[in-house]
Amino acid sequence: MTDSKKRQSARARKQRSCTKMEDRLIGDQTTFYSKAEHYWKEVPPTVDGMLGGYGSISNIDINGSTKFLQKFLGEGQGKTGTGCALDCGAGIGRITKRLLLPLFRTVDLVDVTQEFLDKARSYLGEEAKRVENYFCCGLQDFQPQPERYDVIWIQWVIGHLTDDHLVEFLRRCRSGLRPNGLIVVKDNVAFEGIIPDDVDSSVCRDLNVLHRLVSRAGLNIICEEQQQNFPEEIYQVHTLALR
């Protein structure tokens, strides 16, 4: 699951933003998740589909992510290893192919949509042999193997988790890290509060809300950057490195 989205107007943001995500959910959590699963089953398994019609930003996105991630990788004290990475909300493997496989020996993918994972096997081409696992699972239920991953990359998918499930997932990710491992969250950021999207059954949180949830998970932000050179009409996108 992954998506870049247009921003709403300031007036709409103020009208629809809120301080607690669950206050704006329509129905219960089961409905919230099932609506999202249904939405993604209708999305074509293409790069343009993964990016909500903004396939043209893929190169800019990958270049920004590569520069961000390479700052932490290498050998020596405090450096993050390059053994195995996890791609969360992997879709067809756009990030795995362009970002993670060039930097890590092996990669695991997890996504809620089986069709996307099936497509990933052909989309990744010859390099698919370095993918060890394709997990079909929602992140609210996914349990990373303890101490398996050097980097857990979570992009354009946290909006599909409730606040509590996001905190719990981040805690599980922390236990899935190897020594000096890193969790990276890259996602849309709202101007103020939390903005629900009834189309794909997700939310967009502002930075203050996201920071609080990261803190609840017992993680520290060691680096944060805003992605540059994206179209003005989409949300700001921030990348956070967590330990």
Q: Please give the Cα distance from 80 to 74 (Å, whole number).
A: 6
DSSP string, 35-75: HHHHHHHTS-SSHHHHTTT-GGGHHHHHHHHHHHHHTTBSS
Cβ atoms of 104 and 150 closer than 8 Å: yes
From the CB of residue 76, how many other CB atoms can be counted at a distance below 10 Å? 6
Which residues does the annotation place in the binding site for S-adenosyl-L-methionine?
Answer: 89, 94, 111-113, 139-140, 155
Cβ atoms of 106 and 84 closer than 8 Å: yes
Token reading at 10: 């300031």
Task: Phi first, then psi: give them for residue 96, nearest 5 degrees.
Answer: -55, -45
Which residues does the annotation place in the binding site?
Answer: 89, 94, 111-113, 139-140, 155
3-state secondary structure at position 141:
coil
Token reading at 206: 């502002």
Cβ atoms of 188 and 8 closer than 8 Å: no
Cβ atoms of 207 and 192 closer than 8 Å: no
From the CB of residue 13, how many other CB atoms can be counted at a distance below 10 Å? 18
